Structure 1
Amino acid sequence: MRRFLRHPVRLVPLAFLLAIGIGTGLLMLPSMTVRHEAAPTLTALFTATSAISVTGLAVVDTPGFWSTPGLIVITVLTQIGGLGILTGAALVILTVSRRLGLHNRMLVQAETLEYGIGNLRRLLLHIGGTVLVCETVMTAIVTARLWLGYDYPLGRALWSGGFHAIQAFNNSGFSLYPHGLLSFSRDPWVSLPLALGSIIGGLGFPALFEAAREWRRPTRWAVATKLTIWGSAALVGLGFLTFLLIEWGNARTIGQYAVTDKLLAAFTQIALSRTGGIEVVSTTGLREESYPLLTGLMFIGGGSASTAGGIKVTTFFLLAFVIWAEIRGEPDVTVGHRRVATASQRQAVTVSLLSVAIVAVGTSLLIAVTNKVPFHSALFEITSAFSTTGLSAGVTSALPDSGLLLLTVLMYIGRVGPLTLGSAIALNTRHRLYRYPEEQPIVG
């Protein structure tokens, strides 16, 4: 057992389970609900898992069911889940003792996928500083807008601004408003800062730091940084144009908006749909053509070692380069004059195919336990849970207990699964002293 627990990759899912258990216990206290009654166990478990996994799916009306202490617990759980329990623990150790042992550094590597042990102290300081600055700036802008533009009392404006800033940066979908940010979809001072914060939080700290350090010389970026930065820009740009084209005349979403408001609402919704999950445009009013677009963006997710979920942008575009090299008959897969290791290609294929299988099985199970959910809605909900995005097609709140348990498991798997799988593959590479004879079976 000691050998099992000593391995950092194995500790990550256990740490998240512990946090979910503590969060569930706290949310079951009577003071956490508006009625001062203990929340049902499944409701507390689902909400705690959704917060720790930075998903944001809700089975109850968040502002109408949870009291202020309950909302504070959800906020804290979201912040812990976004940074990663082990990263946060390492930050505390660094602050208190001013030193990190090798074992603690390996624990943080399992969560951040940063294998440069010598740079770990600086990495942790940069993470803490980045989170503090981004969330503070977002809070200040949104608070000022609510206070000066909507006549909110200062305390209420500060609470709303801080809550949504934490949710946006950590790419979670909880909101203090029953319909998300629909009432602010045409207000750039509220929706735009949160959308940009979600993009920054979803890039991933390694890519974000390298891009900031070498912003004058992007040609010197590592392959992972190039794929993350340019891939995210491409996904947001293409998603924005496609969503705008589909929903331009839809009166249930942005059809009645002015042109500038349509552009703003479409951009912020796509930016938040990839990883954030805060609703800016009515999800239940979308045309059916928009569901495959949003489902694909959620499945891809954000950058590695970020607050976002999904199979990750790097994985998706690495597979695209693998396909392109195979079509062209190239012997190597190259990105930016760099040859991609075969092990990385195999990891990308493994993570992607397993994720597809999980989503496919989850969708089938959800349809089986409900018998009423259309296929596109079931796929959308399952993908949202697995990718820890948090958008909903209006299905979650109407699911039976078996459906809620299924989404709970998928949120947990989506948060620790791809991370643990990728780390396990990378840390368990075997080197044989012999090789079998080669054979080429027929493919396709």
Structure 2
Amino acid sequence: MVAFAALVLLGTGLLSLPQATETGEPAAPATALFTAVSAASVTGLVVEDTSGYWSVLGEVTILLLIQVGGFGVMALATVLALVVGRRLGLRMAVYTGTEAKGVSLGEVRQLVTGVLYVTLVFEGALAVLLTLRWWLAYDLNFFSSLYTGIFHSISAFNNAGFSLYSDSMEGFATDPWITVPIALAVIAGGIGFPIWVELWRFSRKRGEARHWSVHAKLTAGMSAALLLIGLAAFLTLEWNNPATMGALNVREKLLTGFFQAVMPRTAGFNSLDFGAMNTQTLLVTDILMFIGGGSAGTAGGIKVTTFAVLMLVIYSNVRGEPTVHAAGRRLSQATVSQATTVALLSLGLVLSATLALMTITSFTLDQILFETTSAFATVGLSTGITGDLPVLGQMILVFLMFVGRIGPITLASALAMRRRSRAYELPEERPIVG
């Protein structure tokens, strides 16, 4: 919490400099803070147009905040310790293990180096593809194409959603050479770094017994299912909407449907105008954003594994089974309790923020719920009301983005400081449920 807050304060200070804006006037404190939190939490919500309001210094500051925020404050500190000191202290290993959410102490070094390699490979490959496309197919010189390609590659892989275009990717909605690589990078960053480490280990075990972990199976299976559900929902609900997909041909509808089905994984790019979408589509997007992506990755939300555990709990209870099983393994009660806690805390925060914004603004429920869910799940999608919110409303979103990045369970643990044990237990009694 302290490290992330320090990163936000540093970013706010840099964005408050007169040189950080195009006009040369210092940004308002609320604007600088909101943008810094949005970038560091890899959300993507903006109150000012990124390319029109911020100078090159401001854009580079945003880009660095995205990179550091996506990579993880503790993971970055560990990499620096490995490079400089050639050794990893116990305290730093424990901190990084906490940031990685469940990685054992002995795996920290391998995880962090894997995070670094995966980040460089995906961001580098995407930057090359986007640079060539913008240079060869659009009216951009090589250096502008290179800058634009690097900016969007870092933003995409880190699931940030910041764009140098005021309409995000709407101008390239039917260009598969831009939208498909960006979507694939979003999936790669959002699926979670432990999955890529496991893939690497899996490929090295030639001739040996190779097994996927329960985490990998749940993450991959649920991610694929949600992607297909999102694609089907967008195509069904927006197929004939004249303001979104209505004027496109079948190929273009499939392309834009796929792109928008990926983005609620917490990326924040949009190739269609969410402000013109049907209310039903916004509700489906709310659900997908709230679930989010994979654990220990650049995605936000309660995470697909949390959602999968909750579904398995319901399935087990309906069947009358005393324990929860997944992929040939029994899930511990601690896992079930943690998933329930994360989901309920997250739901409570989103609903409380929604009620607060409805009290102080005149926007509709579907607009406000979309905005609060997007902020908490660090998505960055918006119906276009972010810049019109009062300062108090923007600060509510700042709080949601901050908490959404570090995780409700991490925040609760940091505030509690230690686990308390009971000296005795009271007699058991069961209330009527339902």
Matched, 1:398 2:388: yes
SS at match of 2:279: coil
- Measured after TM superposition, the shift of residue 436 of structure 1 is 4.1
Structure 1, residues 263-320: CA drift from partner, whole Å, max 9, x if none?
A: 1111011101221001111111111110111000110011111111101110011000
Counterparts of 2:277 and 2:102, CA distance in 1: 39
- Measured after TM superposition, the shift of residue 227 of structure 1 is 1.1
Alignment-derived partner of residue 166 in structure 1:
154
Alignment-derived partner of residue 240 in structure 2:
249
Alignment-derived partner of residue 324 in structure 1:
315
Counterparts of 2:334 and 2:287, CA distance in 1: 25
Equivalent pairs, count:
431
Task: Map residues 120-135 of structure 1 onto 2, 5 A cutoff.
Answer: 120-135=108-123
2:408 aligned residue (418, 421, 424): 418
Structure 1, residues 32-86: CA drift from partner, whole Å, max 9, x if none?
A: 0001111111100000010011101000111110001110000000011111111
Counterparts of 2:49 and 2:38, CA distance in 1: 14
Counterparts of 1:263 and 1:427, CA distance in 2: 49
Q: Is the 8 A contact 1:111 1:419 kept in 2?
A: no
- Measured after TM superposition, the shift of residue 349 of structure 1 is 0.6
Alignment-derived partner of residue 438 in structure 1:
428
SS at match of 1:251: coil
Q: Is the 8 A contact 1:279 1:391 kept in 2?
A: yes
- Measured after TM superposition, the shift of residue 97 of structure 1 is 1.2
SS at match of 2:324: coil
The verdict on how the C-alpha distance between 1:109 and 1:241 changes in structure 2, with shifts beyond 3 A counting, is: same
Task: Map residues 280-429 of structure 1 onto 2, 5 A cutoff.
Answer: 280-370=271-361, 372-418=362-408, 420-421=410-411
The verdict on how the C-alpha distance between 1:351 and 1:138 changes in structure 2, with shifts beyond 3 A counting, is: same
The verdict on how the C-alpha distance between 1:430 and 1:330 changes in structure 2, with shifts beyond 3 A counting, is: farther
- Measured after TM superposition, the shift of residue 439 of structure 1 is 2.4
Structure 1, residues 201-221: CA drift from partner, whole Å, max 9, x if none?
A: 111111232144337999822
Counterparts of 1:435 and 1:226, CA distance in 2: 37
Counterparts of 1:212 and 1:149, CA distance in 2: 35
Matched, 1:24 2:16: no
- Measured after TM superposition, the shift of residue 430 of structure 1 is 6.1
Root-mean-square deviation (CA, aligned residues, Å) is: 1.9
The verdict on how the C-alpha distance between 1:405 and 1:283 changes in structure 2, with shifts beyond 3 A counting, is: same
Q: Is the 8 A contact 1:110 1:423 kept in 2?
A: no
TM-score, normalised relative to structure 1: 0.93
The verdict on how the C-alpha distance between 1:208 and 1:66 changes in structure 2, with shifts beyond 3 A counting, is: same
1:70 aligned residue (58, 80, 83): 58
Matched, 1:196 2:184: yes
Q: Which runs of 4+ in 1 moved over 3 A?
A: 215-219, 421-437
Report the AA paired with residue 32 of structure 2. A
SS at match of 1:339: strand
Counterparts of 1:259 and 1:423, CA distance in 2: 49
Report the AA paired with residue 346 of structure 1. S
Q: Is the 8 A contact 2:273 2:383 kept in 1?
A: no
Alignment-derived partner of residue 109 in structure 1:
97
| Structure 1 unmatched ranges of 5 or more | 1-12
- Measured after TM superposition, the shift of residue 421 of structure 1 is 4.6
Q: Is the 8 A contact 2:289 2:373 kept in 1?
A: yes
- Measured after TM superposition, the shift of residue 422 of structure 1 is 7.8
Matched, 1:259 2:247: no
Counterparts of 2:122 and 2:51, CA distance in 1: 25
Report the AA paired with residue 130 of structure 1. V
| Structure 2 unmatched ranges of 5 or more | none
- Measured after TM superposition, the shift of residue 151 of structure 1 is 3.6
Q: Is the 8 A contact 2:302 2:343 kept in 1?
A: yes
Q: Equivalent pairs: percent with the same residue? A: 45
SS at match of 1:306: coil
